[in-house]
Amino acid sequence: MWRRKLLSLLSNDLLRRFRPASISGLPLRFYSKLHSSPLCIRDETSRPCGGARCDFLESLQFISSRSYSSHPVENSATRCWNCDYLARSSPFLVCETCRSVQPVDDSVDYFNIFGLEKNYEIDGNNLEGKYKDWQKKLHPDLVHTKSEREKDYAAEQSARVIDAYRTLGDMLARAIYVLKLEGVNIDEEETVSEPELLTEILEIREAVEEAADAQALKQIQSQMEDKLRHWSKSFADAIRCRKLGDAVISVRRMKYYARVKEEIFKRL
């Protein structure tokens, strides 16, 4: 018990010594997140989008816990439950010292998990590589011998990482997620009556039904992919300019085209 206290005091001392470098490192990362991310063009004083704000608060707490290290802020989200190690990096899914899996922290959003900026456009990023890296540390199979508590954490944490990977990997899911982070939920119940779009979709769906062979279907599929890419780009533009209404329109269209793709896939 006293050994643990000594350890924590020592670690605080060490952290204090390394403070200048890490403190300067932290806000730099934080500012780069704020300024380059298109979702946080507003100034920090106004309420920024959900994820960045939570990072902001987390960082504040982190800084304050160092300044007043004699009474550290005991935030379970930033301290390892097992060895009490103070989290250095976000996301804190696995403790670096004792390698225990941490409980799910909902303030850590999917972009955070993959170390990405909260930006809709993430092409070219090594999602799969990072995903596998995480699973090497978090997978439930690795915690067979550990406590029930940790097994539960591993199950939840790896499920969340899988979710994040699937969401970020798919254009449409990512778009919906980005909107969700902005506080806009696509309403399930709503019906629309846009004659042009609906007529177009109706015709396409009819063409899918009547398609003679796989080649015809594949042709329609590639058309749908083109349209998805086009509207995905339009979504990215809308989000960048904060035009949420346009963004929602883009997402709706993407949903229709994605649905057609699903149907084609079923038929192939």
Encoding tokens for residue 237?
């533009």
User: Residue 10 half-sphere exposure, CB side, CA atoms within 13 Å?
Assistant: 6
Using CB under 8 A, pick the residue from 141, 188, 210, 213 that binds other proteins. 188
Q: Which of 165, 89, 155 is nearest to 133 (CA)?
A: 165
What whole-number distance in Å separates Cα of residue 208 and Cα of residue 201?
10
Considering only residues 83 through 122, tell me which ones interact with other proteins, judged by CB under 8 A. none
Q: How far is CA 176 from the centre of its chain?
A: 12
Contact flags string 34-73 toward other proteins, x per CB under 8 A: ----------------------------------------
What whole-number distance in Å separates Cα of residue 161 and Cα of residue 110?
8
CB contact burial 89-109 (16+ within 10 A = b; e otherwise): ebbbbbbeeeebbbebbeebb
Using CB under 8 A, pick the residue from 43, 189, 210, 213 that binds other proteins. 189
Q: Which is nearer to other proteins, 161 or 175 (CB)?
A: 175
Residue 130 C-beta: closest distance to other proteins, Å? 30
Q: Which of 236, 237, 211 is nearest to 224 (CA)?
A: 211
233: contact with other proteins by CB under 8 A: no
193: contact with other proteins by CB under 8 A: yes
Encoding tokens for residue 8?
């924590």
Residue 234 C-beta: closest distance to other proteins, Å? 15
Residue 219 C-beta: closest distance to other proteins, Å? 19
199: contact with other proteins by CB under 8 A: yes
Q: By CB under 8 A, how many residues form the interface with other proteins?
A: 24
Encoding tokens for residue 238?
């809308």
Choose the stretch contacting other proteins; rule: CB under 8 A; options: 101-109, 158-166, 191-199, 233-241: 191-199
192: contact with other proteins by CB under 8 A: yes
CA angle 188, 253, 120 (to 5 degrees): 90
Choose the stretch contacting other proteins; rule: CB under 8 A; options: 108-116, 136-144, 227-235, 254-262: 254-262
202: contact with other proteins by CB under 8 A: yes
Residue 70: CB atoms within 10 Å: 7
170: contact with other proteins by CB under 8 A: no
Residue 247 C-beta: closest distance to other proteins, Å? 13
Cis, peptide link before residue 91, omega less than 30° from 0:
yes
Q: Which residues bind other proteins (CB under 8 A)?
A: 186-195, 197-199, 201-202, 205-206, 252, 255-256, 258-260, 263
